[in-house]
Chain A
Amino acid sequence: MATSAATAVQQAATKAPFKIGTKQVFLPNHVIAFIRPKPRQPPNLATFVVPLTFNKLDLRDYLYHVYGVEVTSVRSFINQPAPQRKKYTGQWFRPRAQKMMIAELVKPFVWPEPLPEEERDAFDYKMFSRMAKYRKDMEKQLYEKPDPKLRTQKPEPEPVVGLKQQVKEIIESGEWTNEKTLNVKWLDAQWKEVEKDIKF
């Protein structure tokens, strides 16, 4: 079995379009993420997030041996995050950097379109976006400077707007009706003032 594995390695080495190294890696622990390209990125460029220990040759060999993808060249860069403060102590620290590599593919690869919002029900997108909005509002309330406005600059509350409208109508028409039918006992015909009850 070992000899068959050795011959397989030998065959792969002869077939590979580049010179293969001698170091054999049996149980690698790397995790590589394939990233959606930027909107105007040509389809022969594929972006990956790789471990910081990776180099260009590693990615080339990895893609060829694991996924059978041929690559003509690899570009790499590191995204350095901004310093942050720790939650409770307030100590400054810099989060771990992230390495990205862009491989030039022999065969182009076009990514499928992103999932439209209507088809995200399985991910509970409505609740997700509501929560995101709430969180954003809370953050704004917490961390942004309050901007108290003068009463004249504020939009008028709804009841005030309604009342003003009614007043305007009354002034224009010059009359006012209650538009409510009163109970019979309150009508003038029913009402008799009892003078004897009034004592001065």
Chain B
Amino acid sequence: MASSAAIRPAMGALGRISSTTTTAATAAVTPRQTLSALLPHQQIASISTTAVLLKRHKYPGARDNRDYSKKRGESAIRRTGTRWRLSMSDEPLPRPVSKEALPPIETDPNHGLWEFFYDRKKIVQTPEQDAAHGRAWTVEELRHKSWEDLHKLWWVCVKERNRIATANWERRKQKLGFGEAEAEARDRTVRSTMRAIKHVLTERFYLWEDARKLAENDPEVDLSGNGPAFTPRQYLESEEPAEGEPQAAEGQAEKAAVEAAVDPAMITTSASQSQQAETRL
């Protein structure tokens, strides 16, 4: 049936060329042919004898002779097919495969999303494992850390909180059991570490601001960035310091100014900082 459907437009075209001639390509016998065989006295012509739309009117301004019927000659009874070629192909279509027949999808062992889980099998930690953590980092400990260290620690905390949130969701939705309180305590510890990091960074910013203010009025410090940033007076007491001396870069100059103005030992902590937390994450 597929092959007959494929040659259908061709058949239609042949039918249009000569409605009565039989061709070798069309193996199927059309009803019209059987009809003509039954009625031998009927005149059969190889060309159409009907009055064709002749182009008789050739004078200027004559009506146009276009065929306005787009489906002229199409007939379901005569099986002419359409007047235009249908776009078809006989390429075999893909057959659907059931999910079970497909090979199982394997996850990459280095996939980044594994980092959302504590355990690749269980996903969630047991309450005992959740509760087995230390205290949070204190502000005093973090004061001695560099910005890079603090930044890394912050991101460790962020990932840990994501893990806790993922485990909480899983525990609640799968109805695994208890463990919410332990997870909450763990989360609180992580948050207190994060708060301590922000505390330290805020302190540093305030110190930097104060140091800058002091340096503005300090004759030993030059904040213009053109000359040497810091010129200690006691070594150059006898003679005037030379101006415009080539020195280090601007960034170093500022750093030197801050270091000169601020003594880290003088930094005092706010007593309000709660240090009851327990982990070093």
B168 contacts across to A, CB distance below 8 A: 33
Q: Do A49 and B165 touch (CB < 8 A)?
A: yes
Q: Do B162 and A31 touch (CB < 8 A)?
A: yes
Q: Tell me if A1 is interfacial: C-beta within 8 Å of chain B.
A: yes
A182 contacts across to B, CB distance below 8 A: none
Q: Tell me if A18 is interfacial: C-beta within 8 Å of chain B.
A: no
Q: Do B148 and A1 touch (CB < 8 A)?
A: yes
Which secondary structure dominates chain A's binding surface? loop
A105 contacts across to B, CB distance below 8 A: 113
Q: Do A112 and B120 touch (CB < 8 A)?
A: yes
Q: Tell me if B199 is interfacial: C-beta within 8 Å of chain A.
A: no
Pick from B127, B169, B174: contact of A115, CB under 8 Å:
B174
B122 contacts across to A, CB distance below 8 A: 112, 115
Q: Do A67 and B176 touch (CB < 8 A)?
A: no
Q: Do A31 and B165 touch (CB < 8 A)?
A: yes
Give the total of B residues in contact with A, Cβ under 8 Å.
44
A5 contacts across to B, CB distance below 8 A: 148
Interface residues on A, range: 35 or more
* Minimal beta-carbon separation of A18 from chain B (angstroms): 16
Which secondary structure dominates chain B's binding surface? helix
Q: How many A-B residue pairs have CB under 8 A?
A: 101
A132 contacts across to B, CB distance below 8 A: 175
Chain B positions 89 through 116: 1 when the CB is less than 8 Å from some CB of chain A, otherwise 0: 0000000000000001111100111011
Q: Do A114 and B177 touch (CB < 8 A)?
A: no
**Contacts A122-B127, A122-B128 known; A109 to B113 CB distance under 8 Å?**
yes
Pick from B111, B159, B169: contact of A109, CB under 8 Å:
B111
Pick from B104, B115, B128, B177: contact of A120, CB under 8 Å:
B177
Q: Tell me if B198 is interfacial: C-beta within 8 Å of chain A.
A: yes
Pick from B113, B154, B194: contact of A67, CB under 8 Å:
B113
Q: By CB atoms of chain A within 10 A, which of B128, B162, B177 has the most?
A: B177
Q: Name A's B-contacting residues (CB within 8 A).
A: 1, 5, 26-36, 43, 46, 49, 63, 66-69, 105, 107-110, 112, 114-115, 120, 122-125, 127-129, 132
Give me the 5 closest cross-chain CB pairs, A-B, nearest first. Answer: A123-B177, A67-B112, A122-B126, A33-B165, A34-B116
